[in-house]
Chain A
Amino acid sequence: MRRVAITHVAQSNGGESRESLMDFTYQVNKEVLDKAGLKREEVGCIISGAADIFHSGLSCANAFDWDGIGAFLKEGSRAEESAFSFIYGCMRIMSGRYDTVLVNALVKGSENPDNDPITSFYGDPFYLRPVGINESVVAAMQMRQYMDRYRITEEQCAGVAVKNLGNALFNPYAHIKKRVSLKDVMDSERVYDPLKALECAPKSDGVVAVLIASEGKAKKLTDKPVWLSGYGCSMDHFIPGDRDLLDGQLKEAARRAYAMAGIRDPRKKIDVAEVCEPYAFQELLWCEQLGFCGEGEGGKMIDSGMTEMGGVLPVNPSGGVLATNPYPARGLYRIVEAALQIKGQAGEHQVGKKVKTALAHSTHGFGGQCHSVIILSA
């Protein structure tokens, strides 16, 4: 299998953009090409990540996006979720047919309705949609079970929001920049009891672009390539009631990624993780399933400080999805942040320890119906 490396990355600044989606998209893609010193003609192919109409008001999202991603008369494609796009881009290089791929993802959350109405359209029109199922509703039901089964406290869950929003203060690309206390989180409105408003991710604008390359090409383009070493993905049942919400497919996705990367003890081997936590408690649950702590020990884990910026396994030094949630692009954001940590280019939110191996995770669907895990290494 050919090796694939991330050579250059670029992200939009986190705030709401006044530009049209097309121009917003162009600026970041132009930036990453400029950084790499490449013209768009020199890139092998382009894979974008964008969800269509529900996240843009435009059907066939890639049609409108095509110009801004620099794809005029180029080979390319689009995947609906940006972690898929990244992996698809890697596949193109592994196949031996391309040496460089520009992978990008984009959305302007500020133009769309809230995530709750949008995710309610994941549901079938006969059963799940009419009984009010959306991602937040299922997350809240998942959280109640999590606390109930493992005696996790609401405060421990809220602690994730405190930690991640705190980290975001040091990330120039984060959307929400606000220091919050445990009390702030606990006192915020119980929008989906037991979920509180500050435990739910915002809606953000975001364009992110990544240049990936084959081994030979990567070494020419950068002296700090970040290698893809593991990938795993797994899909769960559609109807949340058909599964145990606390025993989903993340374990399987992680198992696959660790096997590919040759990782036996993720807790020791992973130096930093960017975990997709649209709801605060999910970071704890996902960390358990990623093997960062034992089953039901997510609460203890956050209390120990292990996942803080200076901890032994920092989780979401970027502030995570709780700080920045450009929905279909957030998976690629995790990958970019993990790559920046390995490159040592995360700036003020660079973790204290030396980062050799980083994990990026992405999930979407009710209660984490689909998970992708990507392992990057120096």
Chain B
Amino acid sequence: MTREEHRIVKGQVMVPYELALGRTWSNFYDYLKEEKIMGKKCRKCERVLVPPRSFCPRCFEDMDEWVEVSQEGVVETWVYVNMPFFAQEIKIPFISAQIRLDRSDSGFIHQIAGIDLSDFDRVRETVKLGGRVKAVWSKEKKGNILDIAYFEPVK
């Protein structure tokens, strides 16, 4: 059957939201402005989570102890993204990575950059699972996750 017979109607759905950050996450972003990556520690299971939580999802108890974690960590996994899709925030190609910051107990999702990203084979030689990366700060802080501009491999 031809496309003409399969009639489609094009449209858009657009809905605006304004989501509260709450105390814990507001504080996290305030710390980022001071170039500090802060997590919260659970008194019970003693895990340190970044992003911080106001409560431990496992112990279901308040988490009230702030701890500064290292700005360096280990790459637990990463992906080279070179496919465009609707409403993508970062220009491709980019590397999305899960980084275990030293002194924390959860993987932190951010990007790895500061290297030539155009050639994937060369990227693979630089970015390694288990490799170490460190945070590079944005000069201008806007109070969002990109106040850490990216993580770059530690030479």
Interface string of A72-96 (1 = CB under 8 A from B): 1000000000000000000000000
Tell me, in angstroms, the Cα distance from A195 to B57 when the chains sit together.
Answer: 44
Q: Are B20 and A39 in contact (CB under 8 A)?
A: no
Q: Pick the contact of A57 from B19, B21, B57 — CB < 8 Å? A: B19
A115 located at the interface, meaning its Cβ lies under 8 Å from any Cβ of chain B in the complex? no
* A42-86 contact mask (Cβ, 8 Å, vs B): 1 or 0: 000000000001101100000000111010100000000000000
Residue B70, interface by CB 8 Å: no
Q: Is B87 an interface residue (CB 8 A)?
A: no
Q: Cα distance A58–B49 when bound, in Å?
A: 22
| A residues less than 8 Å from B11 (CB atoms) | 125
Instruction: Say yes or no for A111: interface residue by CB 8 A criterion.
Output: yes
A72 touches B25 (CB 8 A): no
Q: How many angstroms between the C-alpha atoms of A57 and B13 in the bound complex?
A: 12
Check A189 for interface membership: any CB of B closer than 8 A.
no
Q: A39 is contacted by which of B19, B25, B57, B60 (Cβ under 8 Å)? A: B60
> Is B17 a contact partner of A23 (Cβ separation < 8 A)?
no
Contact A67 B20 (CB under 8 A): no
Q: Would you call B18 an interface residue if the criterion is a C-beta within 8 Å of the partner chain's C-beta atoms?
A: yes
With A and B bound together, what is the CA distance between A53 and B147 in angstroms?
A: 27
CA distance A67 to B13 in the complex (A): 29
Q: Are B22 and A23 in contact (CB under 8 A)?
A: yes
Chain A residues with Cβ below 8 Å from B22 are 18-20, 22-24
A121 on interface, CB distance cutoff 8 Å: yes
| Chain B residues positioned under 8 Å from A118 (CB to CB) | 15
Chain B, 16-46, CB within 8 A of any chain A CB: 16-25
User: Range of interface residues on chain A?
Assistant: 20 to 34
* Contact (Cβ within 8 A) A23 B15: no
Inter-subunit contact B54/A67 (CB<8 Å):
no
Whether B16 and A17, one on each chain, are in contact in the complex, defined by CB atoms closer than 8 angstroms, is: no
Q: How far is the CA of A18 from the CA of B11 in the complex (A)?
A: 34
Q: Is B9 an interface residue (CB 8 A)?
A: yes
Q: Whole-angstrom distance between the alpha carbons of A21 and B18 in the complex?
A: 11
Question: Once bound together, how far apart are the Cα atoms of A40 and B56, in whole Å?
Answer: 12
Contacts of B88-106 to chain A: CB distance below 8 A: none
Measured CA separation A158–B9 after assembly (Å): 41
Kindly state the separation between the CA atoms of A17 and B22 in the bound complex, as whole angstroms.
Answer: 9
Question: Does the CB pair A67–B16 fall under 8 Å?
Answer: no
Complex CA distance for A67 and B106, rounded to whole angstroms = 15
Does B58 belong to the interface (CB within 8 Å)? yes
CB distance from B24 to the nearest CB of A (A): 7
Contact A111 B19 (CB under 8 A): yes
Q: Do A21 and B15 touch across chains, with their CB atoms under 8 A apart?
A: no
Chain B residues, Cβ within 8 Å of A22 = 22, 53-54
Q: How far is the CB of A32 from chain B (nearest CB, A)?
A: 12
CA distance A266 to B20 in the complex (A): 44
Q: Confirm or deny: B108 has a beta carbon within 8 angstroms of a beta carbon on chain A.
A: no
Whole-angstrom distance between the alpha carbons of A68 and B56 in the complex? Answer: 9
In contact, B17 and A17 (Cβ under 8 angstroms): no
Q: Which of B17, B55, B58 contacts A111 (CB 8 A)?
A: B17
Which among A17, A20, A26, A68 is the interface contact of B25 at CB below 8 angstroms? A20
Asked whether B57 lies within 8 Å of A67 as measured between CB atoms, the reply is yes
Q: Known contacts A33-B60, A39-B60, A70-B60: does B54 contact A23 (CB below 8 Å)?
A: yes
A291 interface residue per 8 A CB criterion: no
**CA of A53 to CA of B19, assembled, Å:** 12
A121 touches B17 (CB 8 A): no
Chain B residue contacts of A125, Cβ below 8 A: 9, 11
Q: Which residues of A contact B13 (CB under 8 A)?
A: 121
Q: List 27 A-B contacts (CB under 8 A).
A: A17-B20, A18-B23, A19-B20, A20-B21, A20-B22, A20-B24, A20-B25, A22-B53, A23-B23, A24-B22, A30-B55, A39-B60, A56-B17, A57-B17, A57-B19, A66-B57, A67-B55, A72-B57, A110-B20, A111-B17, A111-B20, A113-B15, A113-B16, A117-B15, A121-B15, A125-B11, A126-B9
Q: Knowing that A19-B22, A19-B23, A26-B55 are A-B contacts, what are 7 other residue pairs whose CB atoms are under 8 Å apart, sorted by A's residue number?
A: A17-B20, A18-B20, A22-B22, A22-B53, A30-B55, A53-B15, A125-B9
